[in-house]
Structure 1
Amino acid sequence: VPLFSVVVFAAASPQVTYVSKMMNPADEIVSPDMYDGRRRRRNYLIGGAAAVVVLIIVISVSVSLSRRSSSISSNEIEDIRAMIKNAMDKEGLDASVLDQSGTYQSTSFDWLVGNVEIRDYDRSQILQRFSLGAIYYSTNRIASIYSPNPQGWLNAQGWMTNEHECGWQGISCNEGLKVNGIDLGENGLTGKVPPELVLIREHLEYLDLTTNELFMKESDGDFEFFEKMSDLQTLLMDDNYLESDDGIPKNFAAMVNIEKIRLSYNLFAGQLDNYLFTQWTKLTHLEMESNFLTGTLPEAVGELTDLVYLYVRRNSLEINLDFIKTGKLNNLFAMWLDSNKLTGSIPTEIGQLTFLASL
């Protein structure tokens, strides 16, 4: 066959058949009708496949909507209850309160299972939302002797809604959507910080509850859960009604990673335990001013090599400045000791504190 297009008249058929000028002599000569037939079959197959895909999508969406619109079954609720109870038991919390109507724990649980989206939550998020719900219901409009007529939170945007908790007012999260910071300072909180906070302790690093009306007493065991908060790096609870007759609660000693602690303007009385400061080796900010602390300033304060701010003024402490002689407070920037009883002389080593700018 020559290398140019020719027209072949088939003897048995009047149809015209085309041959490509580059066609190999062994190739089949195909008529236009055969092309059309193949094209129609291909279109049928594509159309059929598309219809199947659409049908699958419609069925999936229908099932999903049906699943979301239905309420949580009693069996599902009890499974979630058992899971939360198990987590509470492992942390040494009283899980029986979950079954007692009217407790902040049961109120948080009822809110949690009232959202059908809980089916999409993993165990970690269920515990996280339950813990945050416990914070809300234990500190919102809770009356005490210091807050007889509480008005409630000043800003609760997002809280106790179906919105993801990382978007709630004052909440920050890490890349894994785990809560690592709670900032509810100056927000009208009353009541007590709930021990259920330990359910998120493994990733909680920052807690700011400054300038609220929280009323917590060491004698009632209100600070015991802090023994579990070893990953906390910042604790700001100044200007509340935190009460202890034994200085700063010893439960705080377990916070071995604490860097910044502010407990000023509270009701802490009694002597400071030296052991606390042997555990807070990473401390940069130590603020305990305007309490009712007595006794001596612990010697271990002089061993805090990272300490930048030391505020203990307006107490009834007996302070000997010899703690400066350790030579380990080289990062100290501010040291407020006034309105205490200072004893001894001012050591010459104070001249080695080259960053010290405020006394």
Structure 2
Amino acid sequence: TTFRRRDDPCGETASLPAAVGPSMAASGSMEDSSTGLKTQETVETVSSRDPVPAPITPMSEEEDDAEDKCWSAHQKSTVIFAVVIVLVVAGVIAMVVALLATTRSRDSDNSLPTRGDGYLTCSDSERIPDLWYQCHRTYGEVVIIPPCREDMYAALKVTLASYFPGDLEINSCDPRNMALLSMADTTLSFNTSAETTPNLLERFALTTLYFSTNGNDWYYTSLWLSRTIHCAWHGINCDGVGRVIDIDLNVNNLFGSLPSELALLTDLKTLQMTNGALTGTIPSEVYRSLSNLEELSLVGHRLTELSPEVGQLRSLKSLRLDNNDFDGSTIPTEIGLLSDLEEFACSGCHLYGSLPGELGECTKLAYVYVSNNFLIGTIPELAPSILFLNVEHNDLDAGPFPTSLYSLTQLTSLHLSGNAFEGSAFPTEMLTSLTSLKYFEFTGMAWTGIIPTEISKLESLENLAVSGNSLIGTIPSEMGRLTRLQYLFLDSNDLTGSLPSELGRMTDLKVLNLDKNRDLDLSSLPPEMASLIGK
């Protein structure tokens, strides 16, 4: 029979235990069936240690009904609790599945969040805070990237996969990664199924150039990194179909290194970046890929090598690399492969070695500037097309005036000062061959002898500087025929006599320096030269 306490209608039920008397004893005998022996067993008297139980009475019908109701309520609570647990677990599972699906979606090439037309679009409110500031002022990496820009970055990375290092993390401050993040930040809409286009590659190359050369510190940055087409950025010029053909970032405070991504600008004809602090070398990819490049000007930086690979720039017409630090470099013989080269300038570059004979194979070469280096040897035979030759302040071999120059009949400017040339001044063959000369500088050497009367054949001369030699004799009157002369430097020689009156015909003369000629009589200035006073 089931009983319940009256004061707990929904409490636990219990069965009435058998009554245990105060004491009981029994005795008897038992027979072991296996042996046939009988044993005597005695049951000792056991007294109950439990207190006398409280009186319990059977439940009435009303209490029995209440008990049924309590059991029904208990079942409902258990069911509800179980349902809640199931729902919570299901919700957690659903969230995990959704999160994994989203992650896989972003990592998938074909499942980026796009519009129905296949375009990925981000709003203006989803912009990446200043990349430069994040990398160089606060975090040392890019840590704040809105989700939509992450998707845009991923889409661009897939499209540019052949040109972008796959091991770069999205947070990296590598210039290439910063460039891709910048493009993701300024792209309003992107067709995720589109093929890589030249314009996309060129924008990537220019943006990488910006971050590689510390664009935040450039003097002029008009429209750079904006959504505007890159053809409108400062210093960028494009052709009729939007391909980059000219870069002019002269005197713009570029420092850092040149990125290999410049090689993506395959239509580039002019690259000018003068007066900055670029370091390192010109990337090999640039030499290999810019086959249309006609002008390369990187004057006034800290570049460290003039590579033989320069011979691959077969369309090059002008190569200007003055005032860099090519310490230990020589002029590569491969320069002779540049058949269209018209100008070669590498003054003040710490060049060693000699002028290669292959330079004479550049049959269109007109301008050569290699002053202020450590060049030795002789001047090789050069193409007759040479108009301007400056080899001042080198260590070219001592000897007479270079006979290799006599064939340069179109030469208009010749600068030989600061070497070790010696011998008789103004060789006759020089005066008869180089009649096109306008500028002639031959100072600080060991020319001896007189100024010959044949000097009058150099009728085109505008600047004549032969200071610091050992010239003797008088100034010939025939010099008065040089009526185009504007600058005449005869100082620091051993000239004698008085000034010929014919010098008064030099009506264009602006500067006349005759100092430090001990025996030159300047006491009586010819009347014809009075017009020079004060000029």
- Scaled by the length of structure 1, the TM-score of the pair is 0.62
Structure 1 residues 339 and 82: CA distance shift in structure 2, 3 A: same
SS of the counterpart of 2:246?
strand
CA distance, structure 1, for counterparts of residue 120 and residue 167 of structure 2:
33
Identify the structure with bigger relative contact order (alpha carbons < 8 Å, sequence gap 6+). Answer: 1
Equivalent position SS for 1:214: strand
Equivalent residue, structure 1, for 2:419: 340
Letter in 1 for 2:368: L
Query: Helix, strand or coil for the counterpart of 1:294?
Result: coil
- The offset of 1:206, in angstroms, is 2.1
CA distance in 1, matches of 2:322, 2:416: 17
Structure 1 residues 154 and 77: alpha-carbon distance in aligned structure 2, compared to 1, 3 A threshold? same
CA RMSD in angstroms comes to: 3.7
After superposition, the C-alpha distances for 1:190-239 in whole angstroms (9 at most, x for unaligned) are: 22333332222x42222222322223359976847645433333333323
Taking structure 1 as reference, are residues 115 and 197 closer, same or farther at Cα in structure 2, changes over 3 Å only? Answer: same
| Compared CA separation, residues 66 and 80, structure 1 to 2 (3 A) | closer
| Other structure's SS at 1:318 match | coil
Name the amino acid aligned to 2:351: A
Report the equivalent of 2:345. Answer: 262
TM-score (structure 2 length as normaliser): 0.44
Deviations 1:160-219 (A, max 9, x none): 22222222222223333322222222221222333332222x422222223222233599
Is the CA contact 1:287–1:311 (under 8 Å) kept in the aligned structure 2? yes
Find the partner of 1:79 among 149, 154, 158.
158
2:321 and 2:206 map into 1 onto residues whose CA distance is: 18
| Correspondence list, 1:101-250, <5 A | 101-116=172-187, 119=191, 123-140=197-214, 152-200=217-265, 202-216=266-280, 223=307, 226-239=310-323, 241-249=324-332
Bigger proportion of residues as helix:
1
Q: Please, which runs of 5 or more residues in structure 1 have no aligned partner?
A: 1-61, 86-94, 142-150
Instruction: Note the alpha carbon deviations across 1:73-127, whole angstroms, 9 max, x for none.
Output: 4652232232325xxxxxxxxx568669333233323323433266589621222
SS at match of 2:234: coil
Q: How far did 1:294 drift? A: 2.0
1:229 and 1:193 map into 2 onto residues whose CA distance is 17
Separation of aligned partners in 2, 1:80 and 1:254: 37
User: Are the structure 2 counterparts of residues 352 and 220 from structure 1 closer, same or farther at C-alpha, using a change threshold of 3 Å?
Assistant: closer
Q: Distance in 1 between matches of 2:359 and 2:377?
A: 13
Percent identity between the two aligned chains: 21
Residues 123 and 63 (structure 1 numbering): CA distance in 2 closer, same or farther, change over 3 Å? closer
Q: Mind listing any 5+ residue stretches in structure 2 that lack a counterpart?
A: 1-115, 124-147, 283-302, 441-535
AA of the residue aligned to 1:358: Y
Q: 1:235 and 1:220, CA in 2 relative to 1: closer, same or farther beyond 3 A?
A: closer
CA distance in 1, matches of 2:182, 2:234: 18
Look up the match of 1:54: none
Q: Deviations over 1:276-308 (max 9, x none)?
A: 514533322222222x222124414x22x3322
Distance in structure 1 (CA, Å) of the matches to 2:232 and 2:155: 26
Greater shift after overlay, 179-188 or 70-79? Answer: 70-79
Which structure has the greater CA radius of gyration?
2
* SS of structure 2 residue aligned to 1:107: helix
Q: Residues 209 and 237 of structure 1 are in contact (CA less than 8 Å); yes or no, is this contact kept in structure 2?
A: no
Alpha-carbon distance change, 314 to 212 in structure 1, aligned in 2, over 3 angstroms? farther
Give the secondary structure class of the aligned counterpart of 2:421.
strand
